[in-house]
């Protein structure tokens, strides 16, 4: 609802002026304006943690209250909630009733339940880390970091008269939208002594457009967009296939040894170390089992199903990377003098 | 007044807005007036529209969706896709990943049901993900608030999006005033408020946002729970469908028997035989060759058949009977010499000097007329070789034949032609018997091929019969018999009306399960009406079991006809080729040919059916006996008036316990029981029964009952058997006598008395029912007795408890999530009513 500007919610006149510091002052924010961030482990972890916590606290509260500031970013970030809760529920469905069963029934049910729990865990981990298999080679080949983060300073609407906390930080990625890529973030800041196009220059050089281009940004943007699109589709397909590989790995019988001694009580150093050692061994054996099939496998499909699933994941990754780094939007390599056909007459005037 | 700002510049420059060009503006154009009436600046005319698909549009929507996904994929590969298309591809990737998981796990599962459920589980998961917001948020919201919170619209580019996905950018202009006002009426928004449309829109936005948030908060719980519950509920229908499908497929195996057997491919075996024959044609028939041939032509046959074929083929392929002397023989003889002289510790050079050359051996044998013929034994040859070697040794050790080395060598030479083990050839004899004088001829090859072909035909038939019998009755999961067992057992536990507490107790241990079941049955039999109902339900269950298994019995089904014809055809062909022993091993001899492989095919099917039926008959018989004990005043007629009451109590307790817990071992020891050696002879009254339970005045009341069993009481076992498996009580017979299984049940009882009670055994050989001995092997006794009732109950209670417990936990959780989600709808969209704008003073 759009309120009349002339009147405030209480009927008082609004004033547009800087408030004095003191009570009711909005908390200090780490960023005053939209800021490009470094894509390193520390930043990723910090952003991940903040988004994770807010997905369980602030954003659901905003949504349930019907806040006028609740936006699509919050909705998407809240996706962490069903992911985590869903994973835990799925684990619980296959495990939490088991202790009530008889000893034999419990053991049998837990065998499947443990595999399922490990499968859920591996699904998430394999999906998360398999993105690197696309991102890293693409960055290496093109110089384009498709996951480059930035902090967006968001101006919020006042929810109530005492609401002075009108700014919030959102963490986005420069290339999260291929239609509305935030190009401004990629320009350098001359005040900091940066060349305006220095990021585009680097990419241009890496993709073979040459050095010292007059307007590298204009040359690079179509390429940047192409890489974004292609890498996104590569990740969409390959990460799920890697996640599937993770689940298949978790369903190997080799894990039974680990399940028998698994402990998360890290404060019991000796037991935990032993558990981790067996985890490593089971991982190795399960990988072999997935690749070769069960020892008693007779049918071709039983012997080679594991190879097929791994092969699909690898193939989708390699094909995705090759397709991404195969850039079609490079400008023609014609020399300046070849741009115009000398044999043809042309009238300028 | 002219405006000169960015908006104006845009409006002027856009082709669609040229009608607003100031140059073409109407005369006396007043921008303030236009702005007030909001007719001057308008957004570009939108081509978007709200989408309201009906069920009938679903096929075309699915088709359009697939086409859109495919185009999105093509665009993405060429780097031209947009955000919406990339978002769709992410969903496609998730489904491909899910399909990969299900496909892999499909290969890991062993039974059709578990294989199917990999894909059903995947579909249920995606289905739950899809239907949860529609069924528990969208539908209730529509019912409560009167509008669709998941309303979709199609934008200018034909892309379908949710209206309320991004609350900062809701395309309100797609809703007409009429529609918004209608929703407002449904939302009970007063009609006389200012900016009514804005207020309604804000209320709609709030409701949609709250629902979207609820979607995020609940779907984590709801999707796995709902998919698990869907799978849980689908188990029954899917099992039923697969059962019928399996049954039909198995019957088709027999009705299309000739087509099925033609699918068998024996070319690899035949090619292997051709290679063996080709490689050895015209070559001596050695043992190795013989073994290769037998192994090839009897592939997949029972070891007993292979043994018979081996024996039969000896007359066709004479191996080990006739030998000739050749270079190979002489090489072997020389090798045998070498091995024999090894303990003497001679060097290679010394051995070379000592051992005769092949030509020397051949000349020596030729001089003695021992070469060129066909020989059965080689004693003369061995002696000749001994003589030759003795000469060489004598020459080797010089003129000292009595020297130690000479004596040692002579000793070793003797050992070579005199084998200590009776019936076994000496090493030298064995060396001579390596080169058969007979060779592989065309006639033999033809004969072998014929035999191989007969076995191929037999194997193609038996493999179809094996497949059929496996699907029907094998001791495996999800066979037809296993399905019948599971369904009947499940229905039986329902018929008993056990409480959850009883089930929880019975699943702890088979002994406890027996106690629970015994108490339950005693409780039921005490009430004639309740017992009648239980027996009637059991009658229905057992009728189904009987009806479904009766067609599979011997001489009653195409399977058994095909078994007979398959073996008979093969036997006739083999007999023509002189393989009589093989025919015997296939057809067997004696009563019903039980010793042959054909008999096994008949017996396997029949025994499995007998075992399953007996288990269920035992349940009915247990109820019958408990009922007789509870109600039959004539129980004295069974166990004898002359017995003291204490003995009667002992016997009743024994019978009840054995029916509940007994195994074949209990019958083998004639039902061992601790009894009182000196019962009270003064009381010969009948037992007392109250509410189905026997009131023991003697049994268990004195320490005397911890004493041993009494082997001299020969009638005790006989009477106990009659009490257990004797007549059916008239009340129960009345309810089952017209059933299809009644005669079979009667036969079961009689057979049980004979086979379990008539076996002479090690414990008390003189104790037999009525003193008559009946022969029965352990399999027959096992199948007749069936599963122990308490163990049957224990397994059933475990399954029931486990599935019940799981359903209780997650059913409640699911109900709670649904409840909270539905109730939350009534707390959504609450807003203060706007105050009317006061007129400026």
Residue A3 reports pLDDT greater than 50: no
Burial category of B63 from C-beta neighbours within 10 Å (exposed 0-12, middle 13-18, buried 19 and up): exposed
Query: Computed over its alpha carbons, how large is the radius of gyration of chain B?
Result: 45
Give the residue among B575, B572, B579 at the shortest CA–CA distance from B311.
B579
What pLDDT is attached to residue B281?
A: 87
Residue B781: half-sphere exposure toward Cβ, Cα within 13 Å: 20
Stretch B506-528: mean pLDDT, rounded? 93
- Same domain flag for B512 and B460: no
Please provide the average confidence, as pLDDT, over all residues in chain A: 87
Per-residue pLDDT tens over the stretch B632-671: 765 666 676 778 888 888 899 999 999 999 888 888 877 8
Residue A28: half-sphere exposure toward Cβ, Cα within 13 Å: 3
Residue A8 reports pLDDT greater than 60: no
Question: Closest chain B residue to A316 measured between Cα atoms?
Answer: B93
Stretch B60-66: mean pLDDT, rounded? 88
Direct distance between the N- and C-terminal alpha carbons of chain A, in angstroms, rounded to an integer: 56
Stretch B100-125: mean pLDDT, rounded? 92
Q: pLDDT class for A21, splitting at 50, 70, 90?
A: very low
Helix H, strand E, coil C: the string for B350-365 is: HHHHHCCCHHHHHHHH
Per-residue pLDDT tens over the stretch A138-148: 999 999 999 99
Flag if B97 and A302 touch (Cβ within 8 Å).
no
Flag if B508 and A102 touch (Cβ within 8 Å).
yes
- Same domain flag for B582 and B632: yes
B823: in domain? no
Q: State both tokens at B603.
A: 């017996």
What pLDDT is attached to residue A2?
A: 43
Flag if A229 and B86 touch (Cβ within 8 Å).
yes
Question: Closest chain A residue to B198 measured between Cα atoms?
Answer: A1
Give the residue among B231, B512, B789, B802 at the shortest CA–CA distance from A105.
B802
What pLDDT is attached to residue B678?
A: 82
Residue A165 reports pLDDT greater than 50: yes
Angle separating helix axes B510-526 and B528-549, nearest 10 degrees:
120
- Same domain flag for B315 and B332: no
Query: Whole domain around residue B450: which residue ranges?
Result: 267-320+440-468
Stretch B310-338: mean pLDDT, rounded? 82
Is residue B521 a contact partner of residue B660, using CB atoms and an 8 Å limit? no
Look up tokens 């994929």; give the residue: B73
What pLDDT is attached to residue B136?
A: 96
Look up tokens 């193939």; give the residue: A315
B 786-815 residues with CB < 8 A to A: 798, 801-802, 805-806, 809-810
Say if A178 is an interface residue toward chain B (CB within 8 Å).
yes
Flag if A97 and B90 touch (Cβ within 8 Å).
no
The shortest C-alpha distance from B803 to chain A (Å) reads 9
CA A105 to chain centre: 40
B587: in domain? yes
- Same domain flag for B608 and B622: yes
CB nearest to A229's CB, from B81, B100, B209: B81
Kind and range of the H or E run holding B710: none
CB nearest to B217's CB, from A81, A239, A240: A81
- Same domain flag for B32 and B167: no
Phi, psi of A168 (to 5 degrees): -140, 160
Per-residue pLDDT tens over the stretch B262-304: 998 999 999 999 999 999 888 888 888 888 999 999 988 889 8
Say if A298 is an interface residue toward chain B (CB within 8 Å).
no
Flag if A177 and B83 touch (Cβ within 8 Å).
yes
Distance CA A66, CA A44 (A): 30
Angle separating helix axes B287-297 and B267-280, nearest 10 degrees:
160
Residues contacting residue B425 through CB under 8 Å, at least 6 positions apart = B419, B433
B603: in domain? yes
Please provide the average confidence, as pLDDT, over all residues in chain B: 85
Burial category of B184 from C-beta neighbours within 10 Å (exposed 0-12, middle 13-18, buried 19 and up): buried
Distance CA A156, CA B152 (A): 27
Q: pLDDT class for B10, splitting at 50, 70, 90?
A: low
B230: in domain? yes
- The string of DSSP letters for B22-66 reads GGGPPTT--HHHHHHHT-SS-PPPP--EEE---GGGHHHHHHHHH
CB nearest to A312's CB, from B100, B507, B809: B100
- Same domain flag for B422 and B558: no
Q: What are the chain A neighbours of B220 within 8 Å (beta carbons)?
A: 81-86, 88-89
Distance CA B540, CA B495 (A): 11
Residue A121 reports pLDDT greater than 90: yes
Angle separating helix axes B510-526 and B480-496, nearest 10 degrees:
60
The shortest C-alpha distance from A140 to chain B (Å) reads 19
Distance CA B42, CA B36 (A): 13
What pLDDT is attached to residue A303?
A: 87
B335: in domain? yes
A 92-121 residues with CB < 8 A to B: 93, 96-97, 100-102, 105, 109
B196: in domain? yes
Question: Closest chain A residue to B172 measured between Cα atoms?
Answer: A1
What pLDDT is attached to residue B36?
A: 66
Residues contacting residue A17 through CB under 8 Å, at least 6 positions apart = none
- Same domain flag for B539 and B622: yes
Phi, psi of B182 (to 5 degrees): -65, -45
The shortest C-alpha distance from B106 to chain A (Å) reads 10
Stretch B713-718: mean pLDDT, rounded? 80
Q: What are the chain B neighbours of A305 within 8 Å (beta carbons)?
A: 103-104, 107-108
CB nearest to A232's CB, from B86, B209, B221: B86
Residues contacting residue B167 through CB under 8 Å, at least 6 positions apart = A68, A70, A71, A72, A75, B205, B208, B209
Total residue count of chain A as it appears in this document: 349
- Same domain flag for B289 and B185: no
Total residue count of chain B as it appears in this document: 841
Flag if A97 and B809 touch (Cβ within 8 Å).
yes
Say if A303 is an interface residue toward chain B (CB within 8 Å).
no
Distance CA B128, CA A93 (A): 15
CB nearest to B224's CB, from A60, A86, A328: A86
Per-residue pLDDT tens over the stretch A299-341: 888 889 999 999 999 999 999 999 999 988 776 665 666 666 6
CB nearest to B77's CB, from A85, A244, A323: A323
Phi, psi of B624 (to 5 degrees): -60, -50
Per-residue pLDDT tens over the stretch B747-773: 999 999 988 888 776 667 677 888 888
Q: How many distinct structural domains can be found in chain B?
A: 5
Distance CA B270, CA B297 (A): 8
Q: What are the E-state strand segments in B336-408? A: none
Flag if A301 and B107 touch (Cβ within 8 Å).
yes
B827: in domain? no
Per-residue pLDDT tens over the stretch A29-75: 788 889 999 999 999 999 999 999 999 999 999 999 999 899 999 99
- Same domain flag for B197 and B224: yes
Counts for chain A of helices (H) and strands (E), in that order: 10, 3
The shortest C-alpha distance from A193 to chain B (Å) reads 33
Q: Which candidate in B115, B159, B224, B511 is best for mutational testing of the A interface (most A CBs within 10 A)? A: B224
- Same domain flag for B286 and B343: no
Q: What are the chain A neighbours of B832 within 8 Å (beta carbons)?
A: none
Per-residue pLDDT tens over the stretch A273-287: 999 999 999 999 999
Residue A7 reports pLDDT greater than 50: no
Residue B828 reports pLDDT greater than 80: yes
Distance CA A320, CA A308 (A): 18
Per-residue pLDDT tens over the stretch B776-790: 888 888 888 889 999
Angle separating helix axes A41-56 and A80-95, nearest 10 degrees:
80
Give the residue among B215, B210, B188 at the shortest CA–CA distance from B199.
B188
B 216-275 residues with CB < 8 A to A: 216-217, 219-221, 223-225, 228
Direct distance between the N- and C-terminal alpha carbons of chain B, in angstroms, rounded to an integer: 28
Q: Which has more confidence, A102 or B833?
A: A102
Q: Is the pTM of this model over 0.90?
A: no
**Residue A307 Cα distances to A12, A25, A125, A310, angstroms:** 72, 61, 20, 5
Distance CA A176, CA B218 (A): 27
Q: What percent of chain B has pLDDT over 70?
A: 88
Q: What are the chain B neighbours of A299 within 8 Å (beta carbons)?
A: 107
Q: With H, G, I as helix, E, B as strand and everything else as coil, classify residue B800.
A: helix
Residues contacting residue A345 through CB under 8 Å, at least 6 positions apart = none
Lowest mean pLDDT among B199-203, B319-323, B538-542, B830-834: B319-323
Residue B441's beta-bridge partner residues? none
B820: in domain? no
Say if B536 is an interface residue toward chain A (CB within 8 Å).
no
Q: Which candidate in A240, A321, A324 is best for mutational testing of the B interface (most B CBs within 10 A)? A: A240
Flag if B216 and A93 touch (Cβ within 8 Å).
no
B 812-841 residues with CB < 8 A to A: 828-829, 834, 837
Per-residue pLDDT tens over the stretch A207-240: 988 888 888 999 999 999 999 999 999 999 999 9
- Same domain flag for B414 and B499: no
Per-residue pLDDT tens over the stretch B786-815: 899 999 999 999 989 998 999 999 999 999
Say if A153 is an interface residue toward chain B (CB within 8 Å).
no
Domain's final residue, options B255, B276, B311: B255
Flag if B83 and A226 touch (Cβ within 8 Å).
no
What pLDDT is attached to residue B27?
A: 61
Q: What are the chain B neighbours of A301 within 8 Å (beta carbons)?
A: 107
- Same domain flag for B106 and B193: yes
Stretch B408-429: mean pLDDT, rounded? 69
């Amino acid at each position: 609802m759009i309120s009349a500007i002339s009147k405030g919610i209480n009927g008082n006149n609004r004033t547009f002026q800087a408030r004095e510091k003191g009570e009711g002052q909005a908390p200090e924010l780490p960023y005053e304006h939209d800021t490009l961030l470094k894509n390193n482990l520390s930043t990723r972890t910090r952003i991940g943690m903040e988004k994770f916590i807010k997905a369980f606290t602030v954003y659901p509260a905003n949504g349930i209250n019907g806040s006028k500031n609740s936006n699509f970013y919050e909705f998407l970030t809240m996706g962490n909630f069903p992911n985590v809760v869903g994973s835990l529920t799925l684990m619980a469905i296959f495990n939490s009733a088991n202790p009530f069963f008889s000893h034999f029934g419990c053991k049998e049910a837990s065998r499947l339940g443990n595999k399922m729990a490990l499968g859920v865990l591996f699904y998430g981990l394999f999906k998360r880390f398999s993105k690197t298999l696309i991102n890293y080679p693409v960055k290496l080949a093109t110089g384009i970091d498709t996951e480059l983060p930035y902090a967006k300073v968001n101006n919020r609407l006042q929810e109530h008269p005492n609401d002075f906390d009108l700014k919030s930080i959102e963490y986005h990625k420069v290339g999260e939208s291929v239609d509305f890529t935030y190009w401004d973030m990629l320009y350098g800041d001359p005040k900091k002594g940066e060349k305006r196009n220095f990021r585009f220059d680097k990419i241009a050089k890496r993709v073979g457009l040459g050095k010292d281009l007059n307007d590298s940004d204009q040359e690079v943007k179509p390429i940047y967009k192409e890489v974004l699109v292609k890498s996104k589709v590569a990740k969409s397909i390959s990460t799920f296939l890697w996640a599937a590989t993770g689940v298949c790995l978790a369903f190997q019988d080799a894990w039974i040894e680990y399940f028998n001694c698994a402990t998360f009580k890290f404060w019991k150093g000796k037991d935990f170390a032993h558990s981790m050692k067996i985890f490593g061994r089971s991982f190795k054996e399960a990988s072999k089992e997935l690749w070769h099939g069960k020892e008693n496998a007779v049918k071709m499909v039983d012997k080679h199903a594991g190879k097929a699933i791994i092969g699909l994941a690898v193939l989708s990754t390699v094909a995705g990377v090759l397709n991404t780094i195969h850039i079609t939007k490079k400008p023609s390599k014609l020399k300046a003098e070849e741009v115009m056909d000398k044999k043809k007459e042309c009238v300028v005037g | 007044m002219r405006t000169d700002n960015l908006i104006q510049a845009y409006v002027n420059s856009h082709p669609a807005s040229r009608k607003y060009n100031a140059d073409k503006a109407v005369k006396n154009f007043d921008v303030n007036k236009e702005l007030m009436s909001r007719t001057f600046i308008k957004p570009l005319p939108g081509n978007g529209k709200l989408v309201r698909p009906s069920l009938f549009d679903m096929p075309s929507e699915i088709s359009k969706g697939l086409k859109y996904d495919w185009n999105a994929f093509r665009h993405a590969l060429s780097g031209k896709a947009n955000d919406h298309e990339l978002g769709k591809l992410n969903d496609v990737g998730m489904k491909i990943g899910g399909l990969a998981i299900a496909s892999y796990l499909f290969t890991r599962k062993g039974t059709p049901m578990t294989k199917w459920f990999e894909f059903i589980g995947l579909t249920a998961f995606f289905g739950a993900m899809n239907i949860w917001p529609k069924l528990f948020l969208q539908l209730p919201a529509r019912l409560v608030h009167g509008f669709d919170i998941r309303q979709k619209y199609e934008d200018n580019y034909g892309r379908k999006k949710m209206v309320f996905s991004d609350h900062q950018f809701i395309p309100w202009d797609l809703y007409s005033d009429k529609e918004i006002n209608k929703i407002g009426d449904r939302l009970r928004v007063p009609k006389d408020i200012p900016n009514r449309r804005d207020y309604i829109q804000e209320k709609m936005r709030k409701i949609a946002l709250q629902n979207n948030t609820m979607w995020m908060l609940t779907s984590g719980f709801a999707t796995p729970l709902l998919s698990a519950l869907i799978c849980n509920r689908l188990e029954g229908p899917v099992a039923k469908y697969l059962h019928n499908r399996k049954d039909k497929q198995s019957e088709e195996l027999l009705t299309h028997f000739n087509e099925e057997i033609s699918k068998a491919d024996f070319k690899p075996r035949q090619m292997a035989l051709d290679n063996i024959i080709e490689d050895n044609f015209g070559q001596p028939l050695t043992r190795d060759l013989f073994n290769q041939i037998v192994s090839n032509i009897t592939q997949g046959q029972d070891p007993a058949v292979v043994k018979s074929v081996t024996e039969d083929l000896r007359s066709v392929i004479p191996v080990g009977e006739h030998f000739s002397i050749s270079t190979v023989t002489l090489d072997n003889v020389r090798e045998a010499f070498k091995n024999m002289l090894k303990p003497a510790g001679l060097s290679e050079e010394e051995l070379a000097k000592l051992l005769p050359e092949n030509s020397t051996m051949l000349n020596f044998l030729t001089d003695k007329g021992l070469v060129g013929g066909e020989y059965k034994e080689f004693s003369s040859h061995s002696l000749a070789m001994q003589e030759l070697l003795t000469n060489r040794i004598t020459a080797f050790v010089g003129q000292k034949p009595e020297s130690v080395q000479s004596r040692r060598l002579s000793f070793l030479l003797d050992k070579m032609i005199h084998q200590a083990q009776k019936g076994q050839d000496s090493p030298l004899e064995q060396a001579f018997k390596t080169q058969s004088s007979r060779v592989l001829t065309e006639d033999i090859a033809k004969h072998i091929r014929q035999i191989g072909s007969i076995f191929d035909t037999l194997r193609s038939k038996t493999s179809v019969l094996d497949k059929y019998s496996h699907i029907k009755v094998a001791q495996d999961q999800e066979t037809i018999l296993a399905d019948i067992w599971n369904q009947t057992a499940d229905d039986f536990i329902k018929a008993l009306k056990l409480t959850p507490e009883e089930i929880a107790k019975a699943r702890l241990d088979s002994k406890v399960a027996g106690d629970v079941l015994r108490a339950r049955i005693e409780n039921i039999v005490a009430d004639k009406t309740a017992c009648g109902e239980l027996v009637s339900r059991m009658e229905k269950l057992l009728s189904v079991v009987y009806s479904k298994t009766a067609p599979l019995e011997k001489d009653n089904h195409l399977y058994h006809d095909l078994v007979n014809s398959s073996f008979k055809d093969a036997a006739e062909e083999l007999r023509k080729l002189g393989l009589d022993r093989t025919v015997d091993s296939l057809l067997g001899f004696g009563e019903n040919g039980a010793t042959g492989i054909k008999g096994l095919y008949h017996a396997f099917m029949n025994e499995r059916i007998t075992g399953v039926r007996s288990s269920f008959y035992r349940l009915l018989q247990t109820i019958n006996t408990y009922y007789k004990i509870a109600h039959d005043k004539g129980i004295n007629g069974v166990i004898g008036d002359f017995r003291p009451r204490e003995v009667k109590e002992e016997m009743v307790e024994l019978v009840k316990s054995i029916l509940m817990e007994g195994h074949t071992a209990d019958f083998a020891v004639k039902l061992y029981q601790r009894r009182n050696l000196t019962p009270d002879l003064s009381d010969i009254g009948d037992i007392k029964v109250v509410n189905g339970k026997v009131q023991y005045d003697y049994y268990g009341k004195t320490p005397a009952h911890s004493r041993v069993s009494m082997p001299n009481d020969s009638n005790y076992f006989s009477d106990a058997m009659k009490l257990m498996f004797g007549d059916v009580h008239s009340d129960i017979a009345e309810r089952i006598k017209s059933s299809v299984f009644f005669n079979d049940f009667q036969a079961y009882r009689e057979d049980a008395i004979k086979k379990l009670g008539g076996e002479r055994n090690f414990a008390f050989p003189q104790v037999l029912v009525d003193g008559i001995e009946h022969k029965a092997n352990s399999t027959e006794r096992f199948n007749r007795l069936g599963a122990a009732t308490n163990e049957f109950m224990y397994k059933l209670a475990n399954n029931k408890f486990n599935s019940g417990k799981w359903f209780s936990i997650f059913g409640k959780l699911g109900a709670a999530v649904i409840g909270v989600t539905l109730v939350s709808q009534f707390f959504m969209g609450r807003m203060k009513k706007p105050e009317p704008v006061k007129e400026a003073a």
